[in-house]
């Protein structure tokens, strides 16, 4: 029986993880569930899965949850609060695996702590790896932790790698990764209409059910830019070896091109329970609850190169990884602020890239040689992006 901690339990990945675990209670026990401020969602999950610990970041929300549990059949569940509590539950000795599903930079410290504690890290938080880069991968190598990617694309790549492959390894057998992207909801929208895109339109992804921030990232293709950076780190390849391919049907989740001309692809229905189940059962496989792929309903599969005029965020991601140092951190921080401003109605869709470009041009590049340097760059970039937006400098 393996104990699991789910960081970000009430989000879409957390909910899907609990759905898979509920099908395999003979193999997994829920030790800890965490959320930002969703009291009701976490309370319902506590009733269904009876974890030992429940964590909410906000102190008042945590007290509210504690009151609810005290009045329930499970008053013995320990309720904790604060960012430090996330790290605490992620490193508990009875935790074998940590599902790192907190969206954004907030997931960095507990995910890094889990890696340093030799846990099996199921990485759904791409921002943590983009921010900390080599520091994170070195922590995995030093501790002997297992790092399994949950993003459907990286999970697909991992499945297509040679037998026995571990993330971070160099493999001379694979010469290129074909990183697929749906193209989001605006793949064919006239360019002149993009400035008028609403948040409701941006979060309506054609294939995947995701949270708001990730859905906007998919619409701008920043999501693919972050995934490209993540793929460089996970699979020890250069940006030139990562080719982004738009595949609107989202049936092929990514491909690996081998030196002998063989291309292996992982296919399946667009259901995040598939990569979650693969990573939970690894190196075996078990039932995920996802529907089987009906290849006859798919009928056709299309592929096209991304238009960098339509998707400038993808271009900025390549610029960030080539610049190296703190630039991927700057890219991610500026994007988080810009996306939230867009969702709040304070920024046009097309100005997300403008904010990111301004921050990358303004911040001075330096080596990302310590966690302190990374966190400082993250904070400075957020302040810079907020000031740029508040001053009305985005036109």
Count of CB atoms within 10 A of residue 236's CB?
15
- Supply the DSSP symbol for 106: G
**Torsion on CA atoms 240, 242, 248, 253, rounded to nearest 10:** 170
**Torsion on CA atoms 355, 357, 359, 361, rounded to nearest 10:** -150
Q: Are 82 and 59 in contact (CB under 8 A)?
A: yes
Q: Residue 17's pLDDT is what?
A: 98
Q: Residue 201's pLDDT is what?
A: 87
- Reduced DSSP (H G I as helix, E B as strand, rest coil) percent helix, strand, coil of the chain, to 5: 50, 15, 35
Phi, psi of 304 (to 5 degrees): -150, 160
173: left (phi over 0), alpha (psi -120 to 50) or beta: alpha
- Residue 20 has, within 13 A of its CA and on its CB side, a CA count of 25
Per-residue pLDDT of the chain (395 residues; tens, 9 = 90+): 999 999 999 999 999 999 999 999 999 999 999 999 999 999 999 999 999 999 999 999 999 999 999 999 999 999 999 999 999 999 999 999 999 999 877 889 999 999 999 999 999 988 888 888 889 999 999 999 999 999 999 999 999 999 889 998 999 999 999 999 998 888 889 999 999 999 988 887 666 566 788 889 999 999 999 999 999 999 999 999 999 999 999 999 999 999 999 999 999 999 999 999 999 999 999 999 999 999 999 999 999 999 999 999 999 999 999 999 999 999 999 999 999 999 999 999 999 999 999 999 999 999 999 999 999 999 999 999 999 999 876 65
Record the tokens describing residue 121, joined without a space.
């890290």
Question: Hey, is 281 helix, strand or coil?
Answer: helix
Beta strand segments in 236-391, E: 242-246, 252-258, 263-267
Q: Are 239 and 176 in contact (CB under 8 A)?
A: no
Sign of CA dihedral 215, 216, 217, 221: positive
Q: Residue 205's pLDDT is what?
A: 64
For every residue of 323-338, DSSP letters joined together read: H-TTHHHHHHHHHHHH
Q: Are 20 and 45 in contact (CB under 8 A)?
A: no
Which pTM does this prediction carry?
A: 0.91
Distance CA 116, CA 198 (A): 41
Q: Residue 232's pLDDT is what?
A: 96
Comparing CA positions, the residue from 124, 332, 309 lying closest to residue 210 is 124
SS3 for 44-64, per residue?
HHHHHHCCCEEEECCHHHHHH
Comparing CA positions, the residue from 216, 34, 226 lying closest to residue 129 is 226
What domains are there in the chain, each with its CATH number? Answer: 2-149 (3.40.50.720)
For residue 346, give the H/E element and its range.
none
Q: Which residues pair with 243 in a beta bridge?
A: 178
Sign of CA dihedral 381, 386, 391, 395: positive
Say how many residues make up the chain.
395
Comparing CA positions, the residue from 272, 360, 278 lying closest to residue 315 is 360
Question: Hey, is 252 helix, strand or coil?
Answer: strand
Q: Residue 214's pLDDT is what?
A: 84
Q: Residue 207's pLDDT is what?
A: 61
Question: Hey, is 243 helix, strand or coil?
Answer: strand
Question: Hey, is 200 helix, strand or coil?
Answer: helix
């Amino acid at each position: 029986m393996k104990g699991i901690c789910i960081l970000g339990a009430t989000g879409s990945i957390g909910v899907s993880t609990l759905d898979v675990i509920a099908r395999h209670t003979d193999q997994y026990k829920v030790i800890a569930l965490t959320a930002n401020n969703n009291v009701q969602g976490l309370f319902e999950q506590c009733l269904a899965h009876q974890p030992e610990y429940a964590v909410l970041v906000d102190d008042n929300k945590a007290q509210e949850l504690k009151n609810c549990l005290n009045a329930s059949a499970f008053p013995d569940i320990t309720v904790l609060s604060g960012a430090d509590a996330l790290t605490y539950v992620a490193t508990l000795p009875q935790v074998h695996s940590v599902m790192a599903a907190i969206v954004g930079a907030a997931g960095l410290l507990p995910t890094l702590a889990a890696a340093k504690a030799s846990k099996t890290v199921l990485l759904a938080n791409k921002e943590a790896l983009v921010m900390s880069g080599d520091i994170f991968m070195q922590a995995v190598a030093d501790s002997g932790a297992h790092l399994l990617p949950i993003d459907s694309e990286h999970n697909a790549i991992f499945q297509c790698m040679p037998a026995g492959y571990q993330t971070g390894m160099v493999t001379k057998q694979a010469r290129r990764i074909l990183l697929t992207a749906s193209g989001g909801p605006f793949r064919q929208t006239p360019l002149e209409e993009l400035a008028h895109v609403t948040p409701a339109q941006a979060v309506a992804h054609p294939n995947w059910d995701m949270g708001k921030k990730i859905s906007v990232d998919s619409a701008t293709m920043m999501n693919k830019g972050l995934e490209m950076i993540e793929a460089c780190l996970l699979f020890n390849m250069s940006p030139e070896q990562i080719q982004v391919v738009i595949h609107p049907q989202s049936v092929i989740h990514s491909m690996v091109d081998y030196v002998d001309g063989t291309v292996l692809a992982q296919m399946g229905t667009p259901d995040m329970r598939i990569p979650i189940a693969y990573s939970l059962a690894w190196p075996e496989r078990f039932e995920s609850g996802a529907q089987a792929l009906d290849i006859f309903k798919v009928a056709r599969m299309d592929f096209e190169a991304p238009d960098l005029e339509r998707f400038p965020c993808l271009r900025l991601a390549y610029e960030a990884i080539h610049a190296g140092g703190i630039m991927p951190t700057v890219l991610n921080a500026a994007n988080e602020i810009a996306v939230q401003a867009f969702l709040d109605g304070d920024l046009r869709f097309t100005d997300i890239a403008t904010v990111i470009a301004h921050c990358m041009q303004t911040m001075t590049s330096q080596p990302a040689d310590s966690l302190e340097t990374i966190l400082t760059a993250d904070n400075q970039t957020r302040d810079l992006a907020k000031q740029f937006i508040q001053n009305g400098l985005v036109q």
